[in-house]
Structure 1
Amino acid sequence: MTADGLVRAHADLAYRVALRVTGCPADAADAAQDALVNVWHHIETVEPDRRRAWVARVARNAALDLVRRRRVRPQPGLAEPVSEPASAAPLPDDDAHAADLRAGIERALGTLDEPYRSLLVLRDVEGLAYAEVADALDLPLNTMKVYLLRARRRFQAALTAASPDLVP
């Protein structure tokens, strides 16, 4: 596969990771574009089985750099929700509850500091394997697992605080 094809194959991942870090679609698009330029220049030098984690790392770093340059903290609830597959025929109450839950999740995720937010996004939202997440964040595997446990606990506490009626 050519460098162009490889970049196209990973463009959505770069945008989603950048969106979760910045919390703003416009900033995420800028960060993803910066990341994809870097990816395009270097993707052929990365081992094929490590490319997904490497693209996630480049996108995360580009988004963090953008946030630092603009001195803007990600705004909870401003990120576009991750699209979920549509169910057969949801009831109106189900749609309202799901929208409230998504908004609560976005707010809770927005309250987490780095690297906890990135850990949850890469592992639980994007579905990267533990080794890929550790590689993307340049952490030892066991350290990443401990941080992920802390991130999940902090996220649960933030979600409960933000939307106590939504959490069982």
Structure 2
Amino acid sequence: MMSIRGRGRGGRGNPLLSGQQSNPLSGRLLGLPQEPPWRQEDADQASEVSPPVSNFIAQLQTHDASQTRLIADLRAKLARAEAKLEAQGEELVDARAETTALRTKLVTESHVALQEREAALRKGEEGLATALDALEHTKEVILGIRKRSSQTVNGGDSKDTDVDAQSLINKRVKMEHVK
């Protein structure tokens, strides 16, 4: 008995029905030109491209074109960014040069102003020294006048005025040390 699937109990009937493979050489023995099955399938596929494969190829070509456009866009953006960076670099160099020039000008002006202040300070010190000398001279003149006037009033007793003159000199010395 044969089953529904075509498999027999191992008898010699139709090999396809009994579950056995057909022998590809059997046709050759009869003289029929037969291609191997894999070559036949390749030939069929080569002659006709199925719609899913052609759609896939079209998608790949579209994808390649979009990738090419994307790469071109990215390269253009990169070129613009590089140009912008180069321009900013030039601006930075110019700004640094300007900053250096301003700093040099400021240092020079500060140095000149410092020299002018030092010269004014020296002049002021010289003026103060001259004024102090004039005050000392005036003090000596005043002390001399007092001494002479006390000698004329006291009749020659000058001990009192010498003590006053000495105390004024001591006060002056103390004032100089305080400065």
Tell me, yes or no, whether TM beats 0.5.
Answer: no
Which one scores higher on RCO, CA 8 angstroms, separation ≥ 6?
Answer: 1
More helix by share: 2
TM-score calculated relative to the size of structure 1:
0.24
